[in-house]
Structures are given as structure tokens and as C-alpha cells.
Amino acid sequence: MSQIDPFSPTPEDSAAEDAQRADRLTIRLAAIRAAMERTVFGQPTVIEQLLVTVLSGGHALLVGAPGLGKTLLVTTAATVLGLDTRRVQFTPDLMPSDITGAEILDHDEEGRRVFRFVKGPIFAQMLLADEINRASPRTQSALLQAMQEYRVTQSGVEHGLPRPFHVLATQNPIEQEGTYPLPEAQLDRFMLRILLDFPDFDAERQMLIATTGVPATPPPVLFSASELIEAQALVRRLPVGEKTLEAILRLVRGLRPETAATKEIAEALAYGPGPRAAQSLMLACRARALIDGRLAPSPDDVAALAEPVLAHRMALNFAARASGVRLDALIAGLGRTLL
């Protein structure tokens, strides 16, 4: 009979340690959020959703009109979190090698000709893909392997990406001339689609005063890459109750034509969210609970994150679009029924 080591940590000890870590991390995250809100005005929900994405180890698609601070939001987050960041301006003439890197002919120490791989801007902890829908599908596809497998392949050789690794892409929903729609496979790799709207009167007034006077002090560095990796691991260890798990499964499966919760949903959808959507929603709910100072997510987290996690992974058929059906209304309606 094997003897139990009395000095080895028990599951109860591990849970208690995680609870202490979560309490300390919640305080740090509150400071990070406050620092970002001092730079990006009038977007508290957007900042929360961005932190949820990063804490979950995912990628985000930021959608909003020009001038709403999408780029500022990403650069501020990278600074506060202490991450190495690169920016790529996506244009129609951008090539995949401009992102991932390319092999060049070089000479070694003995003067022989050899091929050497020169890393592209994707080798960063946070990549800002600005106006991602302006690049061709060929260039957009260069991100597929990187976003899912955290590596790129060049001439049959795999090159690992830095960790943590996050792609934060921006998209302008107004101007569609000269743009290419993102393929479904790439949209599915974005954990959240974050919608930026115009700030309210008070926030825009504060923004006007702060940005037209003496240049503001840059946001402080309050975190590091190693701390972020530890926080992401803690998020995955947070328990999820049976009620929350059931809500996620019923919501995701209820929004697929094959297993739709209602006849109206089945007749309106061309396709619904896949298993990756349920995985993303589970992680995002855990991260939101941690930001809020809770040790486990609740159905309220599912309701708050359902649209940003699921809407870009679904599509209405032609008849539903012609009838004026909206995806957000479908998601919210089913959410009220289940949650």
C-alpha cells in the first residue's frame, strides 16, 4: 500500500492558494483597468472585454468607426501589461511574408551562401493588425496557423512564436470599398468581437479637454509577460459550476440550425457557432469572474459575453436578413430564456 506524502499539497491546499492568488490578482487587474480608463475615455465595457480576451489567452477583433480609439486601446493595453508589441498596417499589396517573415540569401562565417530566416512583425507578444480586412485573403490566411498553433511555418521549418501571443485586429465597419471580408475560419479564431461605440457626453467632454492640451503622461507599466502567463493559467483553474456549464452548452447548441432551441432560430440561421465558441465562452466567463473578484463564473457572465463571443461565429440566411432579423436579438432572446 502506497504511503501518502504528508508534505505534498492536497487539492484543498491548492484551491486555497488559488483563492489567495485570485484575490491579489483582482487588485492588480483593478489598477490595470483604471490606468487604461485614464487614457481611453468612455469605453469601460470595451476595456473589460479586452482584458477578458487577454486573460483568456485569446485574440480580439475590434470593430468601430474611425477615431474611436481602437489603436490607442491596443497600444495602451500593451504598455500597461508590459508586452512587446508590433503594428502591421494591412493594405491590399501586403504579402504573407511581410507578416510572418522570409528567408534571405546570406553568407555564413566561412563565406558560404546560406538561407537565413528573418522574422516578421508577427514575432511579438501582442500584434496589432490594423484594418485587417484591407489585406487580401491570401495575406489574411498567414495569421491562421499563428493564431491557433502559436507558430509559423516557413520552407517546411516551424518557428515558435513568443508567449504570450495575442492578435488584436481592428476593422472599420463603415468603409467597405477596397476591403475583403474575413473568412469564417479566421473569424472563428477571434475569441471576442469587441464593438466600439461613440462615448457619452461627459466622456467626450473629458476626452476633449485631456487630448487638446499638454500631452498626457504615458500609462505606467503595471504587469509583465510572465505575470500574464501565470494569470492565464489561474483562469483555467477556476471552477465552473454545473449551472453555468449547462447554460453555455444549451446556449451554443441552441444557436445552431441543426440543434436550434426554437423553430424560428433554425429557420433564420445559415450556420451557427462551433465547439471553439463554447470553449471561448467558458474561458471568457472565468476571466470576467476573476476581474470582478469572484472565484467562479455565473450565468450572468454568460449573458454578458454571449454576443461578443458568438455573434461573429454565426450567419443569417438571406430570408432572415431580408426580414430584418438581427443576430444580437436572436442571441439575447435565447439568453433570456435559458439564463
pLDDT in tens, 85-104: 999 999 888 898 889 888 78
Grid cell digits, residue 5 = 506524502
Grid cell digits, residue 290 = 476573476
User: Helix %, strand %, coil % for the chain, to 5?
Assistant: 50, 15, 35
The span from the CA of 143 to the CA of 152, in Å, is 8
* 97 in Cβ contact with 228 (< 8 Å): no
Q: What is the pLDDT of residue 1?
A: 41
Give the 3-state secondary structure of residue 101: strand
HSE-up of residue 317 (Cα within 13 Å, Cβ side): 11
Any idea what DSSP says for residue 224? -
Most confident of 13-17, 68-72, 108-112: 68-72
| pLDDT above 60 (res 8) | no
Fold of 19-93+124-237: Rossmann fold (3.40.50)
Indicate the pLDDT class of residue 15, thresholds 50, 70 and 90.
confident
Indicate the pLDDT class of residue 113, thresholds 50, 70 and 90.
confident
- The helix (run of H) or strand (run of E) holding residue 82 is none
What is the CATH code of the structural domain delimited by 238-339? 1.10.8.80
- The helix (run of H) or strand (run of E) holding residue 149 is helix 144-149
Domain residue ranges of the chain, discontinuous segments joined by +: 19-93+124-237, 238-339
Positive or negative torsion for Cα 52, 55, 56, 60? positive
Grid cell digits, residue 155 = 520552407
Kindly report the pTM of this predicted structure: 0.89
pLDDT digits (tens, 9 = 90+) for 143-169: 888 999 999 888 778 889 999 999 999
Listed residue (247, 254, 251, 280) closest to 268, CA to CA = 254
